[in-house]
A and B are shown apart, each in its own frame.
Chain A
Amino acid sequence: MTSSPAASYLPIAVVLLLAVAMGAIVSSLSSLFGPKNPNPVKSTIFEAGSEPAPGTARQRFAVKFYVVALLFIVFDVETVFLYPWAVNFRALGWFGYAEMFVFAATLVVGLVYVWKKGALSWET
C-alpha cells in the first residue's frame, strides 16, 4: 500500500485524530445536554460521600510506589532492548544468544538484588 516507513504511520495518525475528535465530542455531551444547577455543596469533592476527610490530597505519599517506578524504568528499558535482538535472532545464532544471555543475566542479578534488599515486599 505505502512504501516509505513514515507514510505507513499516516493512517494511524488519522485514526488517532478521529479518536481525539470523538473523545472531545463525547466528553462535552454531558455539559450540553445535562442540567446546570451548581451549588456550593455539590462543587466540593465527593470523596466518600460524607464530609471530606481533613487535609489536602496534595501531600507526601508512601515511598514504595516510587521504588516500583524505579524498578519499572530499569527493567522495561532492558526488555525493550531485547526486541531488536529478537527480530535478528536467527541471523545472529549462538553468538547473539550468548551476548544477550549475559545481558539478561545482569537483569536477573539486579532482580535478585532488589528482592534480597526487600524492595519487592509490599507489606512494609
Chain B
Amino acid sequence: MSGFVHGLSYGAVIVTVLMTVTAFSLWFERKLAARMQSRLGPTLVGPAGILQPIADVLKLLQKEDIVPLKADAVLFNLAPPVAVVCAIGVAAAVPFSPTVVAADLDVGVLYVLAIGAVTVLPVFTAGWASNNKLALLGGMRAVAQSVSYEVPLVLAALVPVILAGSMRIGAIVQFQSDHHWFVAWPFFLGIPAFVIFVLAMLAEANRIPFDIPEAESELVAGVTTEYTGMKFALFYMAEYVHTLVASAVASALFLGGWDGGPFRPGLHWMVLKTLFLFAGLYWIRWTLLRFRSDQLMRLCWRYLVPSSIALVATAGVWVVFVG
C-alpha cells in the first residue's frame, strides 16, 4: 500500500516537474538559439518572453483536431500518448537522490534502456498510421537509426555496470561517490563511454545532428506531418522529456549523480548536472548540421559499435587487474 501512495505522489511530482521543465526548456532553447544566431528570440510574452511556452500551448489548444480519412485512426490517435508514456516511464526508475526516486530497481540500467528503446515504436506507429509516404519514410528512418544506435548505447552503459558491479543505478552512483566519477577515473574508459552514450542517446531521441527522421527540408515534418494541436505537442513533449531523462541517466551513470565531489552530496547536484548536460545538447543542436542517412549508419556500425565492444573488453581487463 505504501508503494502505491509513494508511486502516486512521486508520479504526480515527476509529471508536474517534467512538464514545467520541458515547457521552460523550450523557452531556454529558443533564447539560446537566438543568441547564437545574433537574434533576440521571444521577447513579447512576459518578461524576456518567458511565458512564450504557455502562449504556445494555448495556441495549440485552439487548433482543430484533424485525423486524415485515409489514416489508421486507432493507431494514429494511440501514438502520441504512448510516446509520452514511454518517456515518463523511463523517468520513474531514475534516482535523483537516495530518497527522491519512484523505485531504484535492481535492474535499473536494463529497465531504463528497455523502456527508452520502446520510444521508437510510437514514432514508427505514427509514421505508418498517417498513410503518408513522407511520414512513413520518416518512421522507417527513425526505426533504422534508433535500433542501430541502441547497440552502442547498451554497450556504453555496460561500462559503468562492469566498473560498479551492479545494475542498480543508485549503487552505481554510490560506487562513484566512494571512488571517483567514471569520467574522472578511469577516465580512459569513462570519457569514451560517456561520449558514445551521449551520441547514441541523441540518435535515439532523434535530435540534431541525428534528426534525419524529421529532416524538414526533405520530409516536411517527418512522422508528425499529419498531427495537429495537442497531439503534435505530445510528440514534441515526448522528445524533450526523453532527452531530459536521458541526460539524467547519463549524469547518474558517468558524472557521479548526486555526488558533489568535495561538497555535500544532494539532489541539487543531480539536477544541476542534468540541466547542464541538457543545455549542452542544445548547444550541439544549434551548432552542428544534420548527418546524411548513410553517414549516420556508417558512424554507428563501423565506428561506434566496434569501439564500444573494445571499451567493454578493456573495462573487463581493468576490473580484473585493478578493481
Contact = CB atoms under 8 A, between A and B. Distances in A.
A30 B15 contact: no
Contacts of A79: 151, 154-155, 158
A123 B65 CA distance: 39
A76 B77 CA distance: 30
A11 B1 CA distance: 10
Interface residues of B, number: 90
Interface of B: 2-4, 6-8, 10-12, 14-15, 60-71, 77, 80-82, 84-85, 88-89, 91-93, 102-103, 105-106, 109-111, 128, 130-136, 140, 143-144, 147-148, 150-151, 154-155, 158, 161-162, 165-167, 220, 225-226, 228-231, 233-234, 293-294, 296-298, 301-302, 305-306, 309, 312-313, 316-317, 319-320, 323
Given A30-B228, A86-B161, A5 B81 contact: no
A86 to B, nearest CB: 4
B10 to A, nearest CB: 6
A10 B161 contact: no
Given A23-B85, A48-B134, A122 B92 contact: no
Contacts of B309: 104, 107-108, 111
A65 to B, nearest CB: 5
Given A15-B88, A86-B162, A111-B301, 6 more contacts: A2-B2, A12-B105, A42-B66, A48-B220, A80-B154, A121-B298
Given A19-B15, A29-B230, A30-B230, A9 B61 contact: no
A55 to B, nearest CB: 8
A116 B245 CA distance: 37
A121 B65 CA distance: 41
Nearest to B58: A33
Contact of A68 (B82, B148, B320): B148
Nearest to A13: B7
Interface in A48-80: 48-49, 52-53, 55-58, 61, 64-65, 68-69, 71-72, 75-76, 79-80
B131 A57 contact: yes
Interface residues of A, number: 78
Contacts of B85: 16, 19-20, 23
Interface of A: 1-2, 5, 7-20, 22-24, 26-31, 33-38, 42-49, 52-53, 55-58, 61, 64-65, 68-69, 71-72, 75-76, 79-80, 82-83, 86-90, 93-94, 97, 100-101, 104, 107-108, 111, 115, 120-123
Nearest to B114: A80
B68 A94 contact: no
Given A19-B11, A94-B320, A12 B92 contact: yes
Contacts of B155: 79, 82
Nearest to A123: B294
Contacts of B165: 86-90
25 contacts: A5-B106, A8-B3, A15-B10, A16-B85, A18-B11, A23-B85, A23-B234, A27-B81, A27-B231, A30-B65, A30-B228, A42-B66, A43-B69, A45-B130, A45-B226, A49-B220, A57-B135, A64-B144, A65-B140, A82-B155, A83-B167, A86-B167, A87-B167, A111-B309, A122-B298
A15 B102 contact: yes
Contacts of A61: 136, 140
A120 B133 CA distance: 25
A83 B294 CA distance: 30
